[in-house]
Amino acid sequence: MTARPPAGAGAPFGARLAAAMDDHGPLCVGIDPHATLLADWGLTDDAAGLATFARTVLDAVAGRVAAVKPQAAFFERHGSAGLAVLEEVVAAGRETGTLVVVDAKRGDIGSTMGAYADAFLRDGSPLAGDALTVSPYLGFGSLGPAVDLAHATGRGLFVLCLTSNTEGHEVQHARTQDGPTVAATMAAHAAALNAGERPLGSVGLVVGATVGDAAERAGVDLVRVNGPLLAPGVGAQGAGAAELARVFGGARRQVLASSSRGVLAAGPDVAGLRAAARRAADEAAAALR
Ligand SMILES: O=c1ccn([C@@H]2O[C@H](COP(=O)(O)O)[C@@H](O)[C@H]2O)c(=O)[nH]1
């Protein structure tokens, strides 16, 4: 395993992610310590349980997949003790050289967004991984402080565009007063920020692997985005190789497929988790080749 330079000290996130996907395949393993999974793994539903859960996932997959994605909500539900574990997960993940995408879906008016950016994207912040998921539904421009800090520190963003849940269409497929859909507008903003970047820009989109032909219907040009496409929905939400191929078509080289429960169900055995992640990575690679 090659240790990669951490954010802030090396290439921009898009380039680091492209290299990680070349090395390990296009899979991100979600670290989602659901109460039910903790129970299935024989762990307590508290900070100690979270810590063991996350450490086990990292033992199994760090250095073997392109990225891990701790879901902040499952840590936040345990208050400050849970957040302390999230900090440990971010630090431990980054020490292994595996990219860490913090899935916190932050979004607020610009002045408050500056504080979120400081928390999740500033060098030295204990919650700063390599990339952060953000919500643009207060207007893409409200993400400005996060865009600026991500750019300054070599970190990345994944902007919610076409989410994997069935309810997303009422917002994302709605038309703006200028005509294009909301999703297409968000994608166009990301494309403008990524223009000219090689091999990939650092402002990615979240596009669920479950969305079928939604990109086409919403007029979202995924190739033009020229940034990474985080594709949750693989595994427990029902998407597999066929769905990945269908949703992403010509943009498939940009895709980082993401699976949480689909891999985590194989735990707590480290070898079982590792094999499940390998299988998921190989399937995603074959679908996106
Ligand atoms: O559109 C989206 C955006 C984010 N997610 C997150 O991904 C994982 C999915 O977990 P699974 O167990 O693989 O279903 C979870 O953390 C979601 O919050 C998403 O599913 N869809």
Residue 32, ligand 1, Cβ within 6 A: yes
Looking at every residue in the chain, the average pLDDT score rounds to: 96
Q: How confident is the model at residue 178 (pLDDT cuts 50, 70, 90)?
A: confident
Whether residue 8 is predicted with pLDDT greater than 80 in this model: the reply is no
Polymer length of the chain: 289
**In degrees, to the nearest 5, what angle opens at C-alpha 183 toward C-alphas 180 and 184?**
45
**In degrees, to the nearest 5, what angle opens at C-alpha 203 toward C-alphas 105 and 213?**
80
Residue 236, ligand 1, Cβ within 6 A: yes
Could you report the per-residue pLDDT of 35-61, keeping only the tens digit for each?
Answer: 999 999 999 999 999 999 999 999 999
Q: Which residue has the tokens 């701790």?
A: 70
Q: Whose CA is nearest to atom 18 of ligand 1?
A: 71
105 is catalytic: yes
In sequence order, the 6+-apart residues with CB closer than 8 A to the CB of 115 are: none
Q: Which of 4, 16, 78, 105 is catalytic?
A: 105
Q: Is 138 exposed, middle or buried, given 0-12, 13-18 or 19+ CB atoms closer than 10 A? A: middle
What pLDDT is stored for residue 1 in this prediction?
31
Q: Say how many Å lie between the CA of residue 167 and the centre of ligand 1.
A: 14
**In degrees, to the nearest 5, what angle opens at C-alpha 155 toward C-alphas 220 and 102?**
80
d(CA 75, CA 58): 16
What pLDDT is stored for residue 38 in this prediction?
98
Interface pTM, i.e. ipTM = 0.99
- Domain 7-288 falls in which CATH fold? TIM Barrel (3.20.20)
Helix intervals (H) in the chain: 13-24, 35-40, 47-61, 72-76, 79-95, 110-121, 144-153, 169-172, 182-194, 214-218, 222-225, 241-248, 261-264, 270-288
Task: Say if residues 256 and 231 touch (Cβ distance below 8 Å).
Answer: yes
d(CA 289, CA 283): 10
Whether residue 137 is predicted with pLDDT greater than 70 in this model: the reply is yes
